[in-house]
Amino acid sequence: MKFVTDVISVPGAATGAQGETDAPTAVIAPTSMPTEAQPPSSGEQPLAWAPIEPAPKKRRLGLWIGLGVGAVVLGAGAASAILIAPGTTVAGIPVGWMTAGAAAEAISAHIAETEVVLTGAGDGAVLTGADLGATADAAALADAAFAERPMWNLGMWMGEPLAADIALDEAQATDALRAAVPSSFEDPVDAGVAFDAATAAYVATPSVAGTGIDVTALNAAFVEALSKGDKTFEYSGDPAEALPAVSDDDAAATTAELNTMLTTIGFYVGEERTVPIDPAVAAAWLTVVDDDGQLRIEADAQAIQSTVDYLPAVVDRAPVNATNIVDSAGNVLRAEQEGATGRTVGDTSGIADRFAEQLAAGDGVFALDVTETPFETVNLFRKIDVDLSSQRATLYENGAVVNSWAVSTGLPGTPTPTGNFKVFAHTRMQDMGCYPGAPYCTENVPWITWFTTNIGFHGTYWHNNYGNRMSHGCVNLPIDLAKYVYDWSPVGLEVSVHN
């Protein structure tokens, strides 16, 4: 009998690398196959099961390598989209290979941890950026660094340092330095402004320099140290001159502003300063405030209110009619009374607050809102009548008798001329007839109102015989009545002399 030999692979048999088996071929005895207890008959070959040749597997090594490289490339691309370019520094602080968020934290931490070692009077005292209130807008700086120098832009790698605005908090830094080196500090005295009651004006008080450690210079040294990449630097703690925040020039300028305001301060109706304010009262309203080295003016609305309360009493008035003296033709000879409009101040609520705001801005002119009532114009036609027969002068105004007195006119040899005349001049006092060859001489004749050549009304001190002819042609009056006529009669007044 002929045996057929077949090679069969054992299911689940282990395989070696690249799909080849490393295990020995397993021989499976068939049920009819002899065993050790029953050896095969002579001439027969044992049945051997050979492993099945495995099907060749696909080789994927290149794919896996490709996937790995792709992952690296994708990762690098993603990183380049969120990281800052290598070699980038902000104010000397390295931020390359960082996200914007990490860079902001690095900037803040670096600034806070930078140390200042004081020398000289400072005697080795150490202050950190945090002690000095050192700050920067770290988030904005980091965002700007990334926007300008993203990692994907190879041209931005290892670029020039980026500048940053780093500032020390002046008050915090000064307090920290004062605590570290108290001997270096002596406070300066600011110039000021005060009201001098004796001169009713503002005067400047002088400043006095002090000593301290210059925070501005320290700030510059801090920034310079960072730019060099230093986290520790030395700075002198010795005293330097500390100038006052308010200089003499500052105080002088504020003094000039206040004194100028005092010359105009008040409540106005139009161009008229209807209610002027006394400088001492104004000074009680005003305060000069030193606001961190900046002088400014404040005004107290409550103090102003007491003046506002009586504004109606001093502003309100009835109209005053204009009065003109005219001749018979209506020509104005003299304005006897200037007209004035009546006025009533409006609502005063809120005036004190508004004026306080104006004064703080340096404006002392407050315009009042008033209601005006127009005035009327009244014409007065005046004339004087001299009756030689009755020796009487009568003064008329708009046809009504104003006054009437006995007078003394010219004697028969020196009569008073008759006719219609007009006053042409006034003389306060003069001598009459006192010239060589004159028939008389009367000195110091007062209150002369001339109405024709060498003839006029005048005062008489040498007689009191009024009602009788006594003169050389003039109209004699008692001195007080002569002054009345002098004042009452403008140039152009009509005078009628008749028998």
Question: Which DSSP string do the residues of 162-217 spell out, in sequence order?
Answer: BP---B--HHHHHHHHHHH-GGG-B--B--EEEEETTTTEEEEEPPB-EEE--HHH
Residues contacting residue 442 through CB under 8 Å, at least 6 positions apart: 431, 432, 433, 434, 462
DSSP 45: P
Q: What is the DSSP letter of 290?
A: E
Q: Give me the phi and psi of 356, to 5 degrees please.
A: -60, -40
- Cα–Cα dist 123/333, whole Å: 95
Question: CA-CA distance, 463 to 258, in Å (whole number)?
Answer: 65
Structural domains of the chain, with CATH: 1-56 (no CATH), 82-244 (no CATH), 264-323+333-373 (3.10.20), 379-498 (2.40.440.10)
Reported residue count of the chain is: 499
* The one-letter amino acid at 148: E
CA distance 442 to 209: 81
Percent of the chain clearing pLDDT 90 (strictly above): 74
Give the other-Cβ count within 10 Å of 355's Cβ.
Answer: 24
Low-confidence ranges of the chain (pLDDT < 70): 1-80
Map tokens 């104004």 to a residue: 282
Question: Tell me, what's the pLDDT at 430?
Answer: 97
Can you count the helices (H) and strands (E) in the chain? 11, 27
Do residues 224 and 164 lie in contact, with contact meaning Cβ atoms separated by under 8 Å?
no
Q: Can you tell me the distance from the alpha carbon of 20 to that of 56, in angstroms, rounded to the nearest whole number?
A: 9
Please state, as a whole number, how many other Cβ atoms lie within 10 Å of the Cβ of residue 146. 22
CB within 8 Å of 401: residues ≥ 6 apart: 394, 395
pLDDT recorded at residue 77: 54
The C-alpha torsion from 29 through 30 and 35 to 38, rounded to 10°, is -160
pLDDT score recorded for residue 145:
86
* pLDDT score of 110: 93
Q: Which helix (H) or strand (E) holds 254?
A: helix 248-262
For position 79, what pLDDT does the model report? 63
The amino acid that residue 290 corresponds to is D
Task: Kindly give the pairing relationship between strand 494-498 and strand 377-387.
Answer: parallel
**Rounded to 5 degrees, what angle do the CA atoms 251, 255, 259 make?**
175
